Amino acid sequence: MAVSKAPQPFLVESMRAADLDAVMEIERVSFHAPCAAQVFLEELVRDWAHVDVVRDLSTRSIVAFANYWLVADEIHLLNLATHPLARRAGNASRLLAHIADFGRRHDCRVVTLEVRRSNAAALRLYRRFAFRPVGVRPNYYAEDQEDAIVMLLELTP
Ligand SMILES: CC(C)(COP(=O)(O)OP(=O)(O)OC[C@H]1O[C@@H](n2cnc3c(N)ncnc32)[C@H](O)[C@@H]1OP(=O)(O)O)[C@@H](O)C(=O)NCCC(=O)NCCS
């Protein structure tokens, strides 16, 4: 993936099938137990599922993605990752801001997610967005039985 160092214009847009390889590259380098490509392809055809990407417009590269569901008046964030070469540049924040706006436009009350207890970077990111911890799911992650922290963001109109 080509990543430019200078601040660049970016675009948050819906993932297309042609973006699968770029999204899978980010998934593979971001998680010990990455999802299969088929998971993303299935998300593209579910009415309630959304996968958004951040595209660096100077290189046309995809630098981050988020997968979330809109169910009734809640958004559930299932997956969020930024390519390691594009981290600490506000890309996950762009996606979270976009998701929160989407939620408000669809009269959602809350955004919820699960995050590993040990994932300090993600916990800090979510707290900055005013997510608060509301519960623990013990042994949530099948690969290593780590607990998940459940976090919730209340969306104000
Ligand atoms: C967590 C993750 C998505 C953050 O993506 P990102 O694009 O780097 O995030 P941002 O640049 O928007 O960061 C915003 C803020 O989050 C916090 N943050 C992000 N990464 C951090 C890190 N490694 N250490 C400490 N704080 C961090 C900081 O407060 C940061 O603001 P700052 O850079 O001004 O200090 C990214 O590290 C990642 O893909 N990790 C692997 C996959 C993962 O764990 N996903 C979350 C699953 S729940």
Query: pLDDT tens-digit profile of 81-106?
Result: 999 999 999 999 999 999 999 999 99
Structure-block tokens of residue 109: 């009350």
Domain 10-154: CATH superfamily is Gcn5-related N-acetyltransferase (GNAT) (3.40.630.30)
Q: Which residue has the tokens 């973006």?
A: 19
- Point out the ligand 1 atom lying closest to the alpha carbon of residue 93: 12
Ligand 1 pocket, residue 112 CB under 6 Å: no
156 falls in which pLDDT band (50, 70, 90)? confident
Q: For the beta carbon of residue 26, count every other beta carbon within 10 angstroms.
A: 22
Is the per-residue pLDDT at 6 higher than 90? no
Ligand 1 pocket, residue 88 CB under 6 Å: yes
CA distance 57 to 107: 31
Q: Which residue has the tokens 């979270």?
A: 96
| Segments making up each domain of the chain, as ranges | 10-154
**Ligand 1: which residue has its CA nearest to atom 1?**
122
Say what the pLDDT of residue 3 is.
57
Mean per-residue pLDDT of the chain: 95
Q: What is the pLDDT of residues 18-67, one digit of tens each?
A: 999 999 999 999 999 999 999 999 999 999 999 999 999 999 999 999 99
137 falls in which pLDDT band (50, 70, 90)? very high
Structure-block tokens of residue 140: 């949530």
Predicted TM-score (pTM) above 0.75: yes
What would the mean pLDDT of 131-155 be, rounded to a whole number? 97
Say what the pLDDT of residue 110 is.
98
**Ligand 1: which residue has its CA nearest to atom 4?**
92
